[in-house]
Amino acid sequence: MKKICPVSGKEFEITNDDLKFYEKMGVPAPKLCPRERQRRRIAFRNFTHLYQRKCDGTGKNIISMYHADQPFPVFENEYWWGDQWSGLDYAQNFDFSRPFFDQYAELADKVPRVNTFNLQSENATYANFAWMAKNCYLVFGCVRDEDCLYGHIVWDSKDCVDNLYVFRCEWCSHCTDCVDCYDVHFSTESANCNESYFLHDCRGCTNCFGCTNLRQKQYYFMNQECTKEEYFEKLKNIQPFSEQTLQSGKQWLEKLKKEQCIFPPFFGVKTENVSGDHIYESKNCHGCFDTKQCEDSKYLYTAHGEQNCYDISFTGANARFCYECLTIGNTENLLFSHGINQCSNLAYCELCYSSHDLFGCNGLRNAQYCIFNKQYSKEEYFKLREKIIQHMTKHGEWGEFFPTKLSPFSYNESIVEEYFPLTKKEALSQGYKWKEDTETTHYEGPKVKIPETIEEVTNDICKQILTCEVTGKHYRIQKDELRFYKKMGLPLPRVCPDERHRQRMELRNARVLHNRSCDKCGIDIQTTFLPDRPEKVFCEKCYLNEIN
Ligand SMILES: [Zn+2]
């Protein structure tokens, strides 16, 4: 059946398989199109905006994703996870004369929240949404990483600096969408490559520089085959790398991508019956983006290890039968929930752990049969739950994720701005909040000149305040960062971490599939490349014929 999304005004399709899924989950078909559902969810996630404030439990100065002007108390990690308080102390009765979301908003405004969402992590203070991360600095959405700096969605990786969406990589920097790479830099959409620079869509390559579409190759320099001696001679001529070498390398790769490179309809590794982009080791997944090791699912966005799930964003691992959820892990049968780990049978819950059978709860641990944080017997719980669902259905609330106005974050504070960019004017006119940039740095000393090559840099650079060449913001070089660049022989970055991240995000297409025809055989394909983009995009068959 076809529906019109009331937000985007666009038509979207609900298939018979979708209806079966919704029926199994006990929910009506969604009102919004998948893209608007995604936008509504991820507006609840602030990834990178960290503020200094006081812990409302201990009074200590802490950093937090919640600004001090938020209505709810914020506790530092150790205190939040301790026994000094309980979410059950904030219990509310359900009032059948009022809508559900208004009452939930009151609960969410009073239950304490944890300052940053870092679980089982060690020495990763300046991080958010880090899970099992060790010795990491300014990493966001990073899982099982060690000794990584400046990463967004860097998973199972070690000694990596400044990357976006990399998986099982070591000693890599400035890479986007790379898998199983070692000592690879400034590269995109490549897998199983070693000791290389400026690659795009290369697989199983070693010692290559400035190349695209290569398979199992060695010693290629600017897409030309060389002998081993020639390759290292060419490399020696441009080493130590200067800032200028890096700029030329980037420009060369961009030129190759526009003029020579052949793009597949989507970037994937070991996939079967999938659609979307950036899908690895997954099968029967459709409309999925940035999905790893998932099966039988639809509309997953940055997901790992999901099965039989729909509409999930930014998940750690192992969710089964979950629908319209954000940041969940080790969960089963969740509906419209956010920030949940080791739970089952939850609906409309946020920040709950090791619990089951909760409805409309916030900040509970080891709990069961609660509604609005109030304890009920098992029998009372199921009776009241059913009654509330009827009440919500009457008010048009049941079956929809929390409305965006319940997010504690402004549009430009949450990650939604990175995936659905809007200007301030557009955001305000669409009813979102907007936060003014309040960053204040008081450095007024002389501008520090960063040496052209890493060889000229001394340890003193770590004491200095640098000025971003693009934004004018101030930033520093960390000791571990300097060590990395010294070891890799790469010059220090001249732009601040936020700008580096923004430039990497710019290399990725929006999460929208467009109809286009194969540039070789003309058949219809679906791809994230808009029809008027200059890149050559082939259907899977033509691409494989040409490349492998
Ligand atoms: Zn074709």
pLDDT at 438 over 70: no
- The answer to whether the beta carbons of residues 295 and 286 sit under 8 Å apart is no
Residue type at position 168: R
- Residues 143-172 have a mean pLDDT of 97
- In angstroms, what is the span from residue 542 Cα to ligand 1's centroid? 4
Task: Please report whether residue 295 resides in a domain.
Answer: no
For the stretch 400-413, pLDDT in tens is: 999 999 999 999 99
How far apart, in whole angstroms, are the C-alpha atoms of residue 191 and residue 292? Answer: 14
- Residues 447-471 have a mean pLDDT of 94
- In angstroms, what is the span from residue 543 Cα to ligand 1's centroid? 7
**Domain closes at, from 244, 263, 282:** 263
pLDDT at 431: 85
pLDDT at 447 over 60: yes
Mean pLDDT of the chain, nearest integer: 95
pLDDT at 440 over 60: no
Task: Please report whether residue 101 resides in a domain.
Answer: no
Q: Which uninterrupted H or E stretch holds 70?
A: none
Number of domains composing the chain: 2
Alpha-carbon distance values, 136 to 144, 145, 354, 483 (Å): 10, 7, 26, 14
For the stretch 320-334, pLDDT in tens is: 999 999 999 999 999
Helices (H) and strands (E) in the chain, counts: 12, 32
- In angstroms, what is the span from residue 290 Cα to ligand 1's centroid? 24
**Domain closes at, from 263, 290, 312:** 263
How far apart, in whole angstroms, are the C-alpha atoms of residue 153 and residue 429? Answer: 31
- In angstroms, what is the span from residue 189 Cα to ligand 1's centroid? 21
Structure tokens at 205: 């390559």
For the stretch 473-519, pLDDT in tens is: 999 999 999 999 999 999 999 999 999 999 999 999 999 999 999 99
Structure tokens at 296: 């039988």
- In angstroms, what is the span from residue 266 Cα to ligand 1's centroid? 13
How far apart, in whole angstroms, are the C-alpha atoms of residue 376 and residue 380? Answer: 6
How far apart, in whole angstroms, are the C-alpha atoms of residue 158 and residue 167? Answer: 10
Task: Please report whether residue 1 resides in a domain.
Answer: no
> What is this structure's pTM?
0.95
Task: Please report whether residue 124 resides in a domain.
Answer: no
The CB density around residue 531, as the number of other CB atoms within 10 Å, is 10
- Residues 283-299 have a mean pLDDT of 97
pLDDT band, residue 446 (cuts 50/70/90): confident
- In angstroms, what is the span from residue 545 Cα to ligand 1's centroid? 9
- In angstroms, what is the span from residue 265 Cα to ligand 1's centroid? 10
pLDDT at 133: 93
pLDDT over 90, % of the chain: 94
Domain that holds residue 198: 138-263
Task: Please report whether residue 150 resides in a domain.
Answer: yes
Neighbours of ion ligand 1 (CB under 5 A): 518, 520-521, 539, 542
The CB density around residue 19, as the number of other CB atoms within 10 Å, is 13
- In angstroms, what is the span from residue 270 Cα to ligand 1's centroid? 20
How far apart, in whole angstroms, are the C-alpha atoms of residue 299 and residue 42? Answer: 13
How far apart, in whole angstroms, are the C-alpha atoms of residue 125 and residue 330? Answer: 24
How far apart, in whole angstroms, are the C-alpha atoms of residue 79 and residue 57? Answer: 7
Alpha-carbon distance values, 160 to 19, 164, 484 (Å): 43, 10, 9
- In angstroms, what is the span from residue 540 Cα to ligand 1's centroid? 7
**Domain closes at, from 226, 245, 263:** 263
Task: Please report whether residue 217 resides in a domain.
Answer: yes
Task: Please report whether residue 51 resides in a domain.
Answer: no
Residue (of 166, 525, 295, 12) closest to 286 by Cα position: 295
- In angstroms, what is the span from residue 524 Cα to ligand 1's centroid? 8
- In angstroms, what is the span from residue 282 Cα to ligand 1's centroid? 23
The DSSP secondary structure of 429-468, one letter per residue, reads HTT-------------SPPPPPPSSGGG--GGGGGSPEE-
Task: Please report whether residue 278 resides in a domain.
Answer: no
How far apart, in whole angstroms, are the C-alpha atoms of residue 129 and residue 142? Answer: 7
For the stretch 251-273, pLDDT in tens is: 999 999 999 999 999 999 999 99
